[in-house]
Structure 1
């Protein structure tokens, strides 16, 4: 007879960012009594992608109709505002402008209008004189106003999810090994030597999600290639009232250098997107040879570089030259000077790249035996974290019922 396994929990979530905590929250709400443990390697929640973004509640206007990003962002934006209001978390629905500054951008701006309407998002088209109604210092040929965009304190949201989930949350618990055996669930060992046994594992490890997937024995068929987003803070925040974005290039998941008035009243400008030399490479001086070697060994990294080197060269130029970054900002905000830009904290985007060099454009969730892996959840994942959490929870609970 097989000995009865003593499980420490039913579902073990790796990663204490907003998606991992939303998943734990959704599991305990959908199935009260389910024992959930969250392992987070940092000393608190939301220390990486969640806590180092611009704090924008995205409307969903950019995303392909029918995609997970489109459906979850539109639904998630409304739910996030409601969640913040219910729990007294700082937030504001400000709306935003997407501004065309060149004639070549006008067809893409009109395409965004159509995409927004297909996604059920209210959009107002503006001529050049009407831009000043919203942003007196911003210049452009045309723009659209998206009324459902806002800002919030995503770290505050993550803390509330952690508190409200009822899950056991272990901080300072870096995962070092995962052992998955038929009929015996999943055993996870942390750096401190603790072993946690669970029936089902959920991988929400963000920047390390591909490594965690491989620890379980599953092939994620992608790699995380980290891109650092560098920001400045505007020394004259009175120049910007709300949120102002350029028209994005549809070939890339990055939205370009934009202006964001946050919930604290400050205005962040950025990010540009440059390759990071470590998964937590928040500056050029942060280099982790093992992680960098892993990125360079992935064929998709070279395919990506070969395909988009011109775009990358422009991003690198703005990274090393404040004058070049200022020039990019002045396309939207002519009054800005280099002295107005004060360097501030950077973030790193956990971007999934396929073997052929394709950037994964949508959220990616895959399953293995007794494991659910969230493999691509960069922006707008914070906005969409509540519906993403429910979807991951649904899969984990279905799996739990079959174990």
Structure 2
């Protein structure tokens, strides 16, 4: 059997491109082809986030998320510096605005120290030294957090993979996947057939579908959630100097509305998390009936709704009411006004959900002969993309051996 390449990677986001880059570094001469359905890289989750380089403070010690984020944050800063990509290590504040949040804030201090992250506890006066317009009862400062341009990082990874002999093909949507013996074959929407010795599924919002196309049962379903952002008006951007987050509530699956100054000086406010009506549903007007039916008929989605309906109702209310969203922001930033908030592009989070309604919290990998599936790559996937790429490369190369 003639092979067109050794490894096919489906998905040209930051995880797929980091995997291709890692393979070419770990095993020079390995022929890698990345297939991306869009006309360029990083068009979905990678290119539609707030650009934060996460420290890893939130994550359970020993988890993939903790290990990859702590290592990945340092590596991402180094990668951006090496390749002259926009970035800045700003540090961030996690701010308690109510007394009920203080025990959770203190628990984060302990978790940060367990993960090897430097943290500093602050009182109200010290909060004002970092962020004069922010109000809170107490806070912690996390010095290793920063910002970068993940779209630029993805483009650089694509260039490096191609310089090492790999190929990144855009406009190449995978329609069928098959395998015969030791050969994996895919057919694209354009009718091209490619044969390889191994396949890596980094399809993000469509990762479960690709797994099923390949004949594997992923044991989960991607349920899309849209993250809605605003920007502070240019003349009000000086209200925020860096990154400001609320204390997360472990009972809910999202971090809550936060404030992030990007590398371009724009201050993002959000996200507000609501169910998306399509896997690439970046607004309420984008509805794909087939994809919506997949979600609403999935038992896990109904169980999420029953468990978190109050939280979800609040998110939908803030999505439909600028006033309600502004009230949420004022918990951290009392000076903000509704007219200060300008709608910004939304993102969609590919959340893996089990049939019992469990939201998969960590990275989730699955393997079968000749295949590696990345089934859940939640935040901090962009931060951790370099170590994740090496982990996936290790798995696929071990299979080739």
TM-score bracket relative to the smaller structure: over 0.9
1:96, CA displacement in angstroms?
0.2
1:263, CA displacement in angstroms?
0.2
1:269-321 Cα deviation digits (max 9, x unpaired): 00011000000000000000010111112110001101110110111110000
1:135, CA displacement in angstroms?
0.1
Alignment of 1:254-333 (within 5 A): 254-333=254-333
SS at match of 2:153: helix
1:160 aligns with 2:156: yes
1:367-398 Cα deviation digits (max 9, x unpaired): 01210000000210000000000000000000
Counterpart of 1:107 (choices 103, 110, 116) is: 103
1:339 aligns with 2:335: no
Whole-angstrom CA distance in 1 between matches of 2:298 and 2:113: 39
Whole-angstrom CA distance in 2 between matches of 1:317 and 1:268: 20
Whole-angstrom CA distance in 1 between matches of 2:252 and 2:81: 33
Partner of 2:210: 212
Whole-angstrom CA distance in 1 between matches of 2:208 and 2:143: 36
Alignment of 1:96-175 (within 5 A): 96-166=92-162, 167-175=166-174
8 Å CA contact 2:252–2:311 kept in 1: the answer is no
Partner of 1:371: 371
Partner of 1:385: 385
Whole-angstrom CA distance in 2 between matches of 1:310 and 1:249: 14
8 Å CA contact 2:362–2:378 kept in 1: the answer is no
SS at match of 1:200: strand
SS at match of 2:47: helix
SS at match of 2:254: coil
Partner of 2:184: 186
Matched positions, count: 396
1:135-157 Cα deviation digits (max 9, x unpaired): 00000000000000000010111
1:182, CA displacement in angstroms?
2.1
Partner of 1:222: 220
Whole-angstrom CA distance in 2 between matches of 1:175 and 1:400: 22
SS at match of 1:50: coil
Whole-angstrom CA distance in 1 between matches of 2:167 and 2:179: 21
SS at match of 1:382: coil
1:126-182 Cα deviation digits (max 9, x unpaired): 011110000000000000000000000101110110000121111000010001122
Whole-angstrom CA distance in 2 between matches of 1:202 and 1:297: 28
Whole-angstrom CA distance in 2 between matches of 1:171 and 1:24: 15
Alignment of 1:218-257 (within 5 A): 218-235=216-233, 236-257=236-257
Whole-angstrom CA distance in 2 between matches of 1:305 and 1:245: 25
Whole-angstrom CA distance in 1 between matches of 2:297 and 2:176: 22
SS at match of 2:187: strand
TM-score (norm 1): 0.98
Whole-angstrom CA distance in 2 between matches of 1:214 and 1:323: 43
Whole-angstrom CA distance in 2 between matches of 1:179 and 1:123: 49
Runs of 5+ unmatched residues, structure 1: none
8 Å CA contact 2:178–2:186 kept in 1: the answer is yes
1:212-263 Cα deviation digits (max 9, x unpaired): 0000000000000000000000011010000000001113342110000000
Whole-angstrom CA distance in 2 between matches of 1:25 and 1:66: 26
Whole-angstrom CA distance in 1 between matches of 2:275 and 2:180: 37
Whole-angstrom CA distance in 2 between matches of 1:207 and 1:156: 21
Partner of 1:358: 358
1:102, CA displacement in angstroms?
0.5
1:117, CA displacement in angstroms?
0.3
